[in-house]
Amino acid sequence: MAKILIVDDEIKIREVVKEYAKLYGYECDEAKDGMEALDMVQANDYDIVVLDIMMPRLDGFATCKKIKALKDVPIIILSARHEEHDKLFGFDSGIDDYVTKPFSPKELMARIKVIIDRHNTENKNDIMTFEGLVIDPEGRQVTLEGNKLNLTPKEIDLIVYLAKNRNIALSREKLLDAVWKYDYSGDERTVDTHIKMLRHNLGEKYRKHIVTVRGMGYKFEV
């Protein structure tokens, strides 16, 4: 499930975006200004940020630049400012889209989907490195200190999904749906079994990355 951060000092705007985000299957966090947004981006991974320009403490353009310095996350400006120079300045600052208020929530959701899909496509083959652990999704390969691990296809699918969603707590049901797909007829113990095998293959030094979330499931922690 994609995760959105909506940053706006108007609570009604945040409520509208959050309501539609839920309808379209997205998770949504809120921040009332740029400073709060920066704290949340540092603490969480988002698939996209929807950002107002005119906010107290730190305006949207400054917030955009600081977010881009922290993480490679797409940004949509959602603002009442219609001037061409604002739009051009926004794109120069690295935004992915500019939507003016008043806006259509359905159109905003459509734009969000297009940008998230494009960003995921561009980054789906990125090799992920965590100290001596290297995960290559496209090459279907995991190496440890330069040595290729002999993992089963499902173990590779599982560690790739965990790593791409690093620092996010994932339920066993979510992992079943994502890795084994919806038509899988087994039970959640399958996840536990594969996690156990993965930890064994990662060894004492790197098994620490796969953390048990009590009463829920697992997360890949870095």
Q: Do 108 and 141 have their domain in common?
A: no
Q: Comparing C-alpha atoms, which of 91, 96, 136 is closest to residue 118? A: 96
Supply the range of the domain harboring residue 154: 128-220
**How high is the mean pLDDT in each 10-residue block of the chain (222 residues)?**
92 94 93 93 92 90 88 89 85 86 93 86 74 88 92 90 91 86 64 94 94 93 90
Q: Do 133 and 190 have their domain in common?
A: yes
Given a contact cutoff of 8 angstroms between Cβ atoms, the answer to whether 24 and 2 are in contact is: no
Q: Do 60 and 151 have their domain in common?
A: no
**How far apart, in whole angstroms, are the C-alpha atoms of residue 177 and residue 190?**
12
Domain count for the chain, please give it. 2
pLDDT of 11 reads: 94
pLDDT of 123 reads: 61
Q: Which residue has the tokens 């950002």?
A: 51
pLDDT of 125 reads: 61
Helix, strand and coil in the chain, % to nearest 5: 45, 20, 30
pLDDT of 177 reads: 82
pLDDT of 181 reads: 66
We report the CATH number of the domain holding residue 77 as 3.40.50.2300
